[in-house]
Structure 1
Amino acid sequence: MDRERIRNFSIIAHVDHGKSTLADRLLETTSTVELRNMKNQMLDSLELERERGITIKLVPVRMDYRAEDGVDYVLNLIDTPGHVDFSYEVSRSLAACEGAVLVVDAAQGVEAQTVANAYLAVDQGLELIPVLNKIDLPSAQPERVCREIEEIVGIDTTDTIHASAKEGVGIAEILERVVRDVPPPLGDPDAPLQALIFDSVYDNYRGVICYVRVVNGVLKAGEQVLFMALEGDHEVEEVGVFRPGMSRVEALGPGEVGYFTCGIKTIAEARVGDTVTESVRPAAAPLPGYRKVKPVVFCGFYPIERDEIQQLREALEKLQLNDSAIFFEPETSAALGFGFRCGFLGLLHMDIAKERLSREFGVDLVATAPNVVYQIQLTDGTVMEAHRPSDFPEATKIEEIREPFIRCTLFLPEGFVGPAIQLCQERRGVYGSLEYMSPERVRLTYDLPLAEFILDFHDRLKSVTRGYASLDYEHLGFRPSQLVKVDILINEEPVDAFSFICHQDAAYHRGHGVATKLKDLIPRQLFEVPIQAAIGKRVIVRTNIKAVRKDVLAKCYGGDITRKRKLLEKQKEGKKKMKQIGRVSIPQEAFLAFMEVSGSKED
């Protein structure tokens, strides 16, 4: 195919600015999908995406379009997520494109992720086409929003397209601008094959299906290819494109986006970011690929049925193939048995992964409370990383504890600045800046500890701003903090699964919340059970679960009082002996409920 007639582009936007609806209209206008087969959120194939109304996975689709000048073009659209937790998906899709349509809600204006995604596209050197969506709304303010785009994003808005994806307004103009402004891809069809794997999925019948963008050379069925990172040889069985379902073609040339299968059954053999080349005429060097992302939020996944650990491992491997930002490694817990410590890019990312494991792979699992990585400088000068409370050494060996910080950028109406600042101050935030983008819109920046952010910061922010605020964040590294490890002791024995790390000022509130919750969840024993929260050897919270008492005086309907005292003393001695040798049985619900204890000051 002639490279001059190929255009590769993405649609980037903040959550709920109409990106998926615009993609639907593009599919309709180019007749890629017949009207009788059309449905809302056509490219959002996951059930979770439809339920929550957000895009989770990048999805490629190929459209044929005849421009106004009569020339036929092939448009490869890669639909991208909008939430900050899936920014790695956005960066991978942008690496396979030459242009991007930047969609901004004409009523809400520039939001946090609008800026973040726009900067990602600029860093990749993409041509940006600004589009004001929802122009048909009575509350639309196109002039104000255009000023915001120019001031904050820094791109010219003189040719901004005014569109309404819902009403189908401006769709043809967007397609013409893509054809006119997005440059055609570069590449040499006669050079050795270089194709970038930007995504992959696992099919039970065909094995691993690799999504590729061909940069140089031609990818054909039947030829031997080499995966350059792992140096594995495979024969290509099928090559195809997305329309939006998989459609077989003879070959993929330079600049084209499609898929291929090699019958790979081992998930580790195909990595996202790897370069595919010919075995007989390999390329001199692999393509740059993607930077390895570091997870920031960690939690433990444990199967409810302990013999399903292998099923959970296979499910995580298949999910990691489809979402390469997930990290996992085996770990064990005295309370929950064998499981996996998993790393994610954010709290929503963790929640989505847990839901997908349950729905797509049928795994019933327990997820422990989310946490972050801490750096500990010991008294001997060495620095260690602590992933969980049990990794913390004795307090006498600790010189300094450092925790990860993020720079949080909030976009919100002027009337909610006070509550937002108060929330940030409660979460140990350090004030950064306050800028008025317009008389009604404010940009507020705060440096926050990541541990405070992942608890329920986003939900609280939406609550205090009535849903009008949006946020984005970037990682700043580690800073020293006054942190302590709080141990939970049940019957004077520490239980690692309930231990946690927090700031020393919040230790009492967090400890009291956990102890109170456990008092309600652990069933009463035949002896009194103390529940304590302790920092080192110092107990800061204590509550007791009362003993179950048998009425030993029921048979004493008469007689001397000394007989009753003798029975009560005998019972008391029995309780004392039982407390010395008795063990407390902690039900599974107690471990599950531990996640629900909020770390806020209101506990």
Structure 2
Amino acid sequence: MEELLTRNFCIIAHVDHGKTTLSDRLLEYTNTVAQRILTDQHLDAMDLERERGITIKSHPVTMSYPAKDGRVYKLNLMDTPGHVDFSYEVSRSLAACEGALLLIDAAQGVEAQTVANAHLATAQELKIIPVINKIDLPSANLELCLKQLEDILMIPEDEAILASGKSGIGIEDILEAVVSRIPSPRWRDHPHTRALVFDSIYDSYRGVITYMRVFSGALKAGDQMMLMSTGQKSEVKEVGIFTPKMQKTDSLGEGDVGYLVSNIKDTSEVKVGDTVTLARQPAIEMLPGYKEVRPMVFCGLYPLESNDYEKLKAALGRLRLNDAAFLYQSESSVALGFGFRCGFLGLLHMEIIQERIRREHDVEIISTYPSVVYRVMTHGAADYIEVDNPVLLPDPGTIDEISEPTINAAIHIPNDSMGDILALIMEKRGTVEHTDTLDHTRVMLTCVLPLNEILVDFNDRLKSLTHGYGSMDYELGDYRPADLVKMDILINGDPVDAFSSIVHREKAEGKGRELCERLAEIIPPQMFKVAIQAAIGGKIIARDNVRVLRKDVTAKCYGGDITRKRKLLEKQKEGKKKMKLIGKVSIPPDAFIQVLKNN
């Protein structure tokens, strides 16, 4: 089979190691984007991506490169997200390539996600080209980086290319390495048309636009296509490539990376990792690696103003169109009114969705405490039930066992932070499986942690304890049984569902006391004594009182007999007793917001 002059590759690295800046230089060097149009982080189109300095969505682009051997090559580049929440997107982008540029920051060295992404690329049988980036930094330590490359990643140091995405050093060497080292497109000899879906977006004029890599055969406008996971058929309206804007072409052939517009109107119907084939001659086996992506973190989202409910519903609907990994369904809470239970891949994913609702759709929202999916086994049940909301947990008397999801984490830290980090892992109910010395200054801890323990502050504390030098990468582990209980917060004897949470029995008392104290501070003084209690089932584990507002009923009663004052005070006492029997505590919405925000 003759060699195709096409090379498909992606750039993988730890967060903030310069992937997007390097892709800017490649676009500039190959004249794909004119110098006058090129901006910094050109492929990061979202405001949030530019502000946070992270890539959230994969961005493909096709470049043309005249190599030193006199031939002109078509290079398809995918700039992938580096954050662990989007690792599924990274793995699908890798599956659409034959090679990967593995970036290592010359000052930081090999980090946790550098190792994880290198393993992902090796598992997909990709050719890895190591690039030591940012060599022009004053703090660059090339000797250490090359040593780590050999010791940790088992890649010979003579394969490494020294470069700087910022100042453009080594860009030609990278392009020549892509052409000479990365093999030409694989699996072209398959008799049927097969293309891998690695992303999809929604366009209000054209419907769903599917990003895909064609492995064998060809696709053109007018063809009847079929999605192999669901068997759904649709007509192809348009195909094209990215330069990096969408550019219409006649057809997409073997090895091409491009987009496809069809009659499909909802991105949930086009799943990442699916295989597109022709309906008239469908392939029998799908391209490898397709799996359903499932949300791992859940929380309730409620509008701050109850009349913004419809606006929030519309906003979630639009975000769902562009993000197949995001799920939502309506729910209601006594405290917060009507809202939605939403599922996310991880905490960063949750933060970004919430920020996009506020910015792009102008809806102020409040979110409840994040929760994970627990598996609950009840008496006599044949199978476990999945619970993502503490309110839905069955009666404690019927529960045999609750299992929680765990993660397998690789944590890179400086040697001198070892004691603090081990204490943090123990506090979060984690266990250290083994430790590896990376070099004379850093170690890597391999540990198992419950997912719900790392949800809120783990990453922040890791960064502060290691003075910013610690990094973590994780993948989901298995479910493990744990002594978990549902903790309710009662105000004047009534449970408030917005504050319910599933916690480990040992931590329940401390967490309950903290929450009661915060609520006692925030809830405004009431006319009668109000108890705030944390309870597990019928047992009260912590309590505090709301401040009592006492009106001075004797103010107008001056001089004369003391019995008149006593009579008024007794009357007030009786009134407060009656109030307590029938009184409802009015908790202002901002009290919920303050507590939930602080959580």
- Band the TM-score falls in, shorter-chain normalisation: over 0.9
Corresponding residue for residue 277 of structure 2:
277
Q: 1:38 offset after TM fit, Å? A: 1.4
Cα deviations by residue, 1:255-299 (Å, 9 ceiling, x for unpaired)? 101112125334444333333333333334443452123322211
User: How far apart in 2 are the matches of 1:317 and 1:193?
Assistant: 33
246-255 vs 377-386, greater mean Cα deviation: 377-386
User: For residue 216 of structure 1, what is the amino acid of its counterpart?
Assistant: S
Q: 1:525 offset after TM fit, Å? A: 2.6
Corresponding residue for residue 129 of structure 1:
129
Corresponding residue for residue 338 of structure 2:
338
Corresponding residue for residue 144 of structure 1:
144
Please give the secondary structure, in 2, of the residue aligned with 1:24: helix
User: How far apart in 2 are the matches of 1:230 and 1:309?
Assistant: 33
Cα deviations by residue, 1:321-357 (Å, 9 ceiling, x for unpaired)? 4333323333332333333322222211211121123
User: For residue 558 of structure 2, what is the amino acid of its counterpart?
Assistant: Y
Corresponding residue for residue 166 of structure 1:
166
TM-score (norm 1): 0.94
Cα deviations by residue, 1:409-444 (Å, 9 ceiling, x for unpaired)? 111222221221122122222122222111111112
User: How far apart in 2 are the matches of 1:193 and 1:307?
Assistant: 50
Corresponding residue for residue 324 of structure 2:
324
Cα deviations by residue, 1:487-543 (Å, 9 ceiling, x for unpaired)? 111011111211222222322221122112212222223222111112222222221
Q: 1:453 offset after TM fit, Å? A: 1.1
User: How far apart in 1 are the matches of 2:314 and 2:555?
Assistant: 58
Please give the secondary structure, in 2, of the residue aligned with 1:240: strand
Q: 1:593 offset after TM fit, Å? A: 2.6
Corresponding residue for residue 557 of structure 2:
556
Q: 1:575 offset after TM fit, Å? A: 1.1
User: How far apart in 2 are the matches of 1:5 and 1:376?
Assistant: 54
Decide whether aligned partners of structure 1 residues 50 and 378 sit closer, same or farther in structure 2, where only a CA change above 3 A counts. same
1:567 aligns with 2:549: no
Corresponding residue for residue 397 of structure 2:
396
User: How far apart in 2 are the matches of 1:269 and 1:384?
Assistant: 26
User: How far apart in 1 are the matches of 2:22 and 2:467?
Assistant: 27
User: How far apart in 2 are the matches of 1:307 and 1:555?
Assistant: 44
Corresponding residue for residue 65 of structure 2:
65
Q: 1:189 offset after TM fit, Å? A: 9.1
Corresponding residue for residue 425 of structure 2:
424
Cα deviations by residue, 1:112-167 (Å, 9 ceiling, x for unpaired)? 00011111111111111011111122322223222212222222332211111112
1:456 aligns with 2:484: no
Equivalent positions of 1:92-491 (< 5 A) are: 92-186=92-186, 188=188, 191-288=191-288, 290-306=290-306, 308-380=308-380, 383-491=384-492
Cα deviations by residue, 1:40-68 (Å, 9 ceiling, x for unpaired)? 11111111111111111110011111001
User: How far apart in 2 are the matches of 1:14 and 1:552?
Assistant: 67
Q: Indicate if the aligned counterparts of 2:267 and 2:322 stay in contact, CA closer than 8 A.
A: no
Query: What is the number of equivalent residue pairs in this alignment?
Result: 597
C-alpha RMSD of the superposition: 2.2
Q: Indicate if the aligned counterparts of 1:329 and 1:341 stay in contact, CA closer than 8 A.
A: yes
User: What percent of counterpart residues are identical?
Assistant: 54
Please give the secondary structure, in 2, of the residue aligned with 1:325: coil
User: How far apart in 1 are the matches of 2:232 and 2:466?
Assistant: 53
1:586 aligns with 2:587: yes
User: For residue 406 of structure 1, what is the amino acid of its counterpart?
Assistant: I
User: How far apart in 2 are the matches of 1:493 and 1:520?
Assistant: 19
User: How far apart in 1 are the matches of 2:540 and 2:357?
Assistant: 39
User: For residue 348 of structure 1, what is the amino acid of its counterpart?
Assistant: L
User: How far apart in 1 are the matches of 2:183 and 2:248?
Assistant: 26
User: How far apart in 1 are the matches of 2:301 and 2:348?
Assistant: 15
Please give the secondary structure, in 2, of the residue aligned with 1:402: strand
User: For residue 573 of structure 1, what is the amino acid of its counterpart?
Assistant: E
Q: 1:302 offset after TM fit, Å? A: 2.5
Structure 1's unaligned 5+ residue stretches are 599-603
Cα deviations by residue, 1:365-421 (Å, 9 ceiling, x for unpaired)? 321111122233335466433322223333333333332222221112222212211
User: How far apart in 1 are the matches of 2:326 and 2:60?
Assistant: 21
User: For residue 500 of structure 1, what is the amino acid of its counterpart?
Assistant: S
Q: Indicate if the aligned counterparts of 2:275 and 2:286 stay in contact, CA closer than 8 A.
A: yes
Cα deviations by residue, 1:69-122 (Å, 9 ceiling, x for unpaired)? 111111000100111111111011111111100011122111000011111111
412-421 vs 218-227, greater mean Cα deviation: 218-227
Corresponding residue for residue 499 of structure 2:
498
User: How far apart in 1 are the matches of 2:398 and 2:188?
Assistant: 61
198-207 vs 44-53, greater mean Cα deviation: 198-207
Please give the secondary structure, in 2, of the residue aligned with 1:33: coil
Corresponding residue for residue 576 of structure 1:
577
258-267 vs 467-476, greater mean Cα deviation: 258-267
User: For residue 372 of structure 1, what is the amino acid of its counterpart?
Assistant: V
Please give the secondary structure, in 1, of the residue aligned with 2:343: strand
Q: Indicate if the aligned counterparts of 1:431 and 1:447 stay in contact, CA closer than 8 A.
A: yes
Q: 1:310 offset after TM fit, Å? A: 5.0
Please give the secondary structure, in 1, of the residue aligned with 2:276: strand
Q: 1:169 offset after TM fit, Å? A: 0.8
Please give the secondary structure, in 1, of the residue aligned with 2:272: coil
Q: 1:545 offset after TM fit, Å? A: 1.4
User: For residue 341 of structure 1, what is the amino acid of its counterpart?
Assistant: R
User: How far apart in 2 are the matches of 1:138 and 1:329?
Assistant: 51
Please give the secondary structure, in 1, of the residue aligned with 2:507: helix
User: For residue 409 of structure 1, what is the amino acid of its counterpart?
Assistant: A
425-434 vs 222-231, greater mean Cα deviation: 222-231
Decide whether aligned partners of structure 1 residues 198 and 136 sit closer, same or farther in structure 2, where only a CA change above 3 A counts. same
TM-score (norm 2): 0.94
User: For residue 528 of structure 1, what is the amino acid of its counterpart?
Assistant: K
Structure 2's unaligned 5+ residue stretches are none
Q: Indicate if the aligned counterparts of 1:88 and 1:325 stay in contact, CA closer than 8 A.
A: no
Corresponding residue for residue 601 of structure 1:
none
User: How far apart in 2 are the matches of 1:278 and 1:314?
Assistant: 34
Corresponding residue for residue 42 of structure 1:
42
